[in-house]
Amino acid sequence: MSEQPLNPTPAAAPDDDAPDTAPAGPAPTGSTAADVVAAGGAADEAAALRAASFERARRLRQEPRFPGGPAADPAGSHHERRIRSFQPRRSRVTAGQQDALERLWPKWGLDIDGQRVLDLADLFDGLPVVLEIGFGMGEATAQMAADDPGTGILAVDVHTPGQGNLLGLADKAGSTNVRVANGDAVILLREMLAPESLDGLRVYFPDPWPKARHHKRRLIQPEFLDLVAPVLKPGAVVHCATDWEPYAEQMLEVLTAHPRFENTAADGGYAARPAFRPLTRFEGQGLDKGHVVHDLLFARV
């Protein structure tokens, strides 16, 4: 509920000689001076309590849930406010996920703070690296890492339980080719990756933002591809998948129109699902509902 002024009715302009402490309007009929003072004090106290509550909530959002683990706001407030394609989710973390975060984040995790350029060769011991944006609970990412240990996967998400789950799955499988990045992928692309440093980009089942007024929040947009193209090596493939037909159509249109990308499908349309992409949990849910899944593979030219 929005806050209302204590005296919403505008008062007549005061005389020039009137004291600065004159009340904004007359006191209610029957009120004493003590009543007016008490009411003003109560209002000030309520405002102070609201401000303190807001400040506590703000600090809580900025504090990491696990000391030494992923930061709540890694880029801080020095980055501009803009429309984002994601909403941070801080749902319940299981004991296993917490254990994985506490043990493995210092070794395999990093915050997207916008303060440095990553040395991917050092981070992945010289492996070619693909970037995956949005991995959910990490099951598909962990499987791809296990199936292809010769490729490093830089997996980006803001969902703390998913981050812990992916770290735990990779550890259980003995995979050392996964690094989990926490924060905004746009900042990562724009400020933390060197030119032509990536061997591929994977965006599987991003939020379709189905309402028309939210389409501006969709990740695959011309401006996003403008950020992606410079950090991809020539020939690197952007691989998208979605079960939301209108979003698939937008992806195809946007990727086809961009001068730095070329469709690998001979007919200029959608591609068959590559064998290396496992069926994801979201994909299974979509198929159960009768959705058609579309893959798009575009090479950087």
Catalogue the active-site residues.
207
Report long-range pairs for 125-128 (Cβ below 8 Å, ≥24 apart): 127/151, 127/152, 127/177, 128/152, 128/199
In angstroms, rounded to a whole number, what is the distance separating the alpha carbons of residues 138 and 109? 14
Q: Does the CA dihedral 212-189-253-130 come out positive or negative?
A: negative
| 149 CB neighbour count, 10 Å cutoff | 13
- Residue 179, strand partner residues: 154
In angstroms, rounded to a whole number, what is the distance separating the alpha carbons of residues 100 and 70? 12
